[in-house]
Every structure is written in C-alpha cells, then in structure tokens.
Amino acid sequence: MQAVGPAVKHPIIDLLQKCKTLDTFKQAHAQMITTGLTRHTYPISRILILSSSVATLPYTLTIFKQVQNPSIFLYNTLLSSLAQKGPAQVALSIYYQILTHPNLEPNNYTYPSLFKAFGVHQWFKHGQALHAHVLKFLHTPYDNFVQASLLNFYSRCGRVGIARYFFDQIREPDLATWNSILSAYAHNSNVSFASNSNHLDGNTSSSLEVLNLFSQMQKSLVKPSEVTLVALITACADLGAFSQGIWAHVYTMRNNLSLNHFIGTALITFYANSGCLTFAWQLFYQLRHRDTFCFNAMIRGLAIHGHGHEALDLFGIMKQEGFVPDDLTLLAVMSACSHVGLVDEGRKYFQSMTSVYGLEPKLEHYCCLVDLLGRAGLVKEAVETILSMPMMPNAILWRSLLGAARVHGNLAIGEIALRKLLELEPQTSGNYVLLSNMYACMNRWDDAKKVRQLMKDQGIDKMPGSSLVEVDGSMHEFLIGDKSHPQVKEIYLKLEEMNTKLQEYGHQPRTREVLFDIEEEEKEDALSYHSERLAIAFALIASDSCTLIRIIKNLRVCVDCHSSIKLLSLIYKREIIVRDRTRFHHFSNGTCSCLDYW
C-alpha cells in the first residue's frame, strides 16, 4: 500500500465525495480500481468512510480485506466509519486484528472510535478493559482526544463520577466535551422521570451541577448548541428552576436555534414541571414536527397536574394522527387515570398494552396499576396484581401498596408490605414512618412506638423533608425546622403570623401522625416548621405580592400542610404551586387542584 502522494488531488476523489447512492458509489469505486487509485492509502480511506454511509457493512469489510498490508491509519479509518453504525462486535474484531498484527500498534486515534462504539452499545466491561489497554499501549495515554472519548464513554454508560474526573483533566474543553458532561448529569437527574410517571423525585444534585457547569461554560466563551440547551432545560425541569429555563427558551429563539422536537420536548417537560401547563400546551402546538416523545411529554404533564380527562383526549388525538404509542405513552396514560381515579380506564389501558399494541408491560406499568388500585381503595386487588406479576416486585411497588394501606386503614396488608420492604430496603426510613403513621392513625400507640424503636435500634434516621423555592432567579432550600437562612429572623416572624392567621380562620392542626412522644402543643409546633411552610414564609417576605409561589418538595406533602396551604392561599391572596414527589398541587382561593385526592 502506497502512501498519500498525488492521489489526494485526483478528480475521481472529488467525484467520490459527491456520491449519494450505492450505484453512484460503485461506479466511482470501479473507476478508482481501473486507474490504480486503490493502491494508495488516502483514496482507500475515502472509500471506507463513504461506504459506511451508503453501502452495507459486508461491502465495506470486503473492500478493506482487499487491501494489502493496511496501515494503522486505514485500520483507524475503518473503526471510525463503523463507530456508530456497525455492531460493537465488529469493532472489537478489527481491534483484535491490530493487536495480533506483527507490525502494527494501536495509537491515540484507535481508541476514541472504539470507545464510541462501546458507549453506543453500553459495553461497560469491554470499555473498562479497553481503558486498561490505553494505559498499556500509549506513551501519552491522556491527550485531549483520548480523554474526551473516555469522558463520552463513561457518560453514555451512566458513570457520571468517572466522566467528571476526565472532564476535569481537560484544560480547554470544546463544545462536544461540554455537551457530553452536561448530558451525563442531565440524564442522571432525569432517569426517574423516564422510569416512572408517578414519581417526580429526580436527582437534584445532578441537576444543580448542570447549572453550575453551564455557568462555567459561559465563562469559557464556548457557545451552547441545541444539545447543550436540551441538557440545561432538562435540569431546570427537574429543579423547577423557572428563571433559568425561561432564559434557555429565550436564548434558543434569539439565536435562531432550531426549535426541533428534542428542544421542544425538553421545554414541554420544563413548563409542565414548573407548574406552567398553559405554556406547555402553547409550545406543544407551536412545534411544526411533533413525534411520540412530544406527545408523551404533554400527556405526562397533564397527568401530573391532575388533568386526567385531557390527557386521555390527547392520547386519542395522538392515535388519530398516526403516532404509534410506546411503553412510556401507556405509562403516562395510566398515570393520568391514577391521579383522577379512573380505575376502569386504567385497567383497560394496561390490558391494551399486549392485546392492542403488542407491548410487554414492564415493572413500571405494574407499579402504576397498583398505585391506581391502591388510591381508589382497591387494596386487595392491588395485592392480587402484585402476586400475579411475571417479575419480582420492587421496593417502589411495595411502598405504593403500603401507602395505600395506610390511607385506607388496611393494617394487615400494610404490615405485609412493610415486611417485604424491610427485606429490600432495610435502611430506608420512609418505610418505617409509613407504618408508624398508620398505627398512630388507628390509636395503636404501643405498635407505633415499637416501629420507632426499631428504627433507632437499626440506626435509621428519618429522611428530612426539604423544599426548594425560587425567588428572583435564585433557588432557596429549606429543611424542617431550618434556621440556617440569612433571613431566619424575618422568616420565623412571618411563620408566627401565618400560624396566628390559620388559627383565626379555624384551622385545626392534624397532629395524629406527628411523633407521639411529645406534648400536643409541641406537635403543632413540629407541623409549623415543616419545610414547605418555611419556604412559603420566605416567599411571602421576599417576593412581590402578585408573584406566584412555586415550591418543590422531596416528600409527599402531609395532610396538615395540605389543608394549611389551602387556607394560606386564601389568606394571603397568593397562588401557590407545590410539586411533591407524586404530583402537582395548585392552591388558590382556599382550594387545591387535586380535590384532596392524592
């Protein structure tokens, strides 16, 4: 095989670049054979690159096999052309040929293509072994190109911590590198949204890191792309960071970036997760090209806001327009049924997965069905569903059953669910708290005390409730009884005022589920210091009186806080939106959008 030489500027090379179909490609290839260009390295490299896009994989490999003594450059070219299109097994086979060749060694251009191939197929163990080869074979293993490929590989495989290590080693990250690390964190925060429409508890630490990294990216003067903005908007959706999400939307429009279905879907989710369902609707109808993902995002948004009938109507429109529902569509539709108590409809959609759409229900769909039945008080049917599942129930499912048993006072099933939870998650405090609260509601104080004692014996602390509230573009977090805020004095004065007004309006604190080993007056104080109350108090003193208050809570809002916030929205004439771990509550003029069904 001859080196580059004059073949680089040959007119047939220009002709080859213009080929768009397999027939024209074969014609150009034939001319290169007859003119002897295929004896040169550069023309062959051009053929390999183009053939991977217009020809079949066997055709491309046949071309390569005809090359006598291919150089490492040609091997690398072949790997690069197959990185995303070809099976990872083929890339691994080619790499093995390099390793066993007596005169060749892999170099810095060999590994990035391999890491890309392994990352696409999430071959984590193979990628780890390849990482060891980088250290073994390369004299300078961590140049920017290799570091970026390692970062991208570990990002795609969900190993965010390792990806961050390599990101921090790169002195001047380019746009692709920034996008890779931002997408890794955004995906890590968004994984719960994708897996279960009934839960809104994303990974807020990952989302906050996206905002932090994006701020650093802006200082580096690297301009964001559509991929960057999708990652940023996804993080804002998780956090309910309204100001930053609005900025991203405006930036997209001002910089003439395409409002494609990727950015569109992210923005629909963002507005829905920020409590702005009207904006989500407007954006949905503005999109010129909608796909299944856009419909899924909008249906899910309607579901978590309690607009079950509208969600089902949109599902009907989706089918009329010829879009094929996937498993996430059915999950969102079932969630919509669950939030408004449409039991018969929820059952029907679950059954239709196999009978109509040919989809095999996943664990998430069974979780949603159990949640639907449990909310409606059909606790025994929920148990029967669990026992008939073709897969092992997970902790989310048993916790859903325990919650339903608590709400509807079915102690026997609650105890069964707790035993299963203790086997799966012996260190999760919420499981013990649910059962303890159930005993408390039934005045079985000795049993409640035993559960609390068991927690202490196991060294398990109750997960603290936390609430995020955004004021003037800044996120403020409060824990129960929090006194760390710089405006703590003003906050607690406002809290006293709120409690006084609640009493004047006849509010009777629901203290039954509060820790029972304290006096009744102390129980009322404990309720007053719940994180969402502190967040509301801060918003009342720090924001304009006409501004809507948005709060994100990590736990399910308790009964007493729910009734209190209804009254506070009337007392202070403020609309308050609370996103807890299962749904949205829109409080206005003394009522809540959930109609006390949550």
pLDDT band with cut points at 50, 70 and 90 for residue 203: low
pLDDT band with cut points at 50, 70 and 90 for residue 6: very low
Separation between Cα atoms, residue 79 and residue 547, nearest integer Å: 56
- Judged by average pLDDT, the poorest of 33-42, 339-348, 431-440 is 431-440
- pLDDT for residue 195: 45
pLDDT for 201 beyond 70: no
**Strand order through the sheet with 474-479:** 474-479, 466-471, 549-553, 576-579, 584-588, 591-592
pLDDT for 282 beyond 90: yes
- pLDDT for residue 522: 42
pLDDT for 196 beyond 50: no
* Residue 291 DSSP one-character state: -
* φ, ψ dihedrals at 578, nearest 5°: -115, 125
Phi-psi region of 443 (alpha: psi -120 to 50; beta: other; left: phi over 0): left
* φ, ψ dihedrals at 575, nearest 5°: -80, 130
pLDDT band with cut points at 50, 70 and 90 for residue 527: low
Separation between Cα atoms, residue 505 and residue 528, nearest integer Å: 16
385 and 370 in contact (C-beta within 8 Å)? yes
- pLDDT for residue 446: 85
pLDDT for 476 beyond 50: yes
Q: What is the pLDDT of residues 61-93, one digit of tens each?
A: 888 888 888 899 999 998 988 776 667 888 888
How many other C-beta atoms lie within 10 A of the C-beta of residue 103?
7
CATH, domain 5-159, list 1.25.40.10, 3.40.50.720, 3.10.129.10, 1.20.1420.30: 1.25.40.10
Choice between 385 and 596, residue whose per-residue pLDDT is larger: 385
> Residue 466 forms beta bridges with which residues?
479
How many other C-beta atoms lie within 10 A of the C-beta of residue 14?
10
Residue among 423, 378, 420 nearest 399 (CA): 420
- pLDDT for residue 497: 95
When pLDDT is averaged across residues 201-216 and rounded to a whole number, the result is 84
Residue among 486, 467, 483 nearest 475 (CA): 467
- pLDDT for residue 443: 79
- pLDDT for residue 335: 93
* Residue 474 DSSP one-character state: E
Query: If you write DSSP's letter for every residue of 341-376 in order, what string do you get?
Result: T-HHHHHHHHHHHHHTS-----HHHHHHHHHHHHHT
Contacts of 369 (CB under 8 A, 6+ apart): 334, 346, 347, 350, 382, 385
pLDDT band with cut points at 50, 70 and 90 for residue 192: very low
- Judged by average pLDDT, the poorest of 54-58, 282-286, 559-563 is 54-58
Q: What is the pLDDT of residues 562-587, one digit of tens each?
A: 999 999 999 999 999 999 888 899 99
How many other C-beta atoms lie within 10 A of the C-beta of residue 229?
23
- pLDDT for residue 554: 85
> In whole angstroms, what separates CA 114 from the centre of its chain?
27
**CATH placement of domain 390-463:** 1.25.40
When pLDDT is averaged across residues 222-238 and rounded to a whole number, the result is 93
How many residues comprise the chain? 598
pLDDT for 371 beyond 60: yes
- pLDDT for residue 44: 87
* φ, ψ dihedrals at 586, nearest 5°: -100, 105
Query: If you write DSSP's letter for every residue of 380-402 in order, what string do you get?
Result: HHHHHHHHT-SS---HHHHHHHH
237 and 225 in contact (C-beta within 8 Å)? no
Q: In which residue are the tokens 């939870």 written?
A: 421
pLDDT for 32 beyond 80: yes
- pLDDT for residue 4: 46
When pLDDT is averaged across residues 530-534 and rounded to a whole number, the result is 92
Choice between 298 and 191, residue whose per-residue pLDDT is larger: 298
When pLDDT is averaged across residues 57-62 and rounded to a whole number, the result is 86
- Judged by average pLDDT, the poorest of 183-187, 511-515, 549-553, 580-584 is 511-515
> Residue 468 forms beta bridges with which residues?
477, 552
pLDDT band with cut points at 50, 70 and 90 for residue 199: low
- pLDDT for residue 7: 54
* φ, ψ dihedrals at 265, nearest 5°: -65, -40
Pairing of strands 466-471, 474-479: antiparallel
* Residue 475 DSSP one-character state: E
Angle (CA) 279 322 273, round 5°: 25
pLDDT for 467 beyond 60: yes
- pLDDT for residue 141: 62
For residue 376 the two structure tokens come to: 């409606």
Q: State the DSSP H helix or E strand holding residue 206, giving kind and residue range, or none if neither.
A: helix 204-219
Give me the percent of the chain exceeding a pLDDT of 70. 91
Choice between 272 and 518, residue whose per-residue pLDDT is larger: 272
The most distant pair of C-alpha atoms in the chain lies apart, rounded to whole Å, by: 96
SS (H, E, C) 543-593: CCCCCCEEEEECCCCCHHHHHHHHHHHHHCCCCEEEECCCCEEEEECCEEC
Q: What is the pLDDT of residues 286-312, one digit of tens each?
A: 998 899 999 999 999 999 999 999 999
Q: Average pLDDT of the chain? A: 86
pLDDT for 266 beyond 70: yes
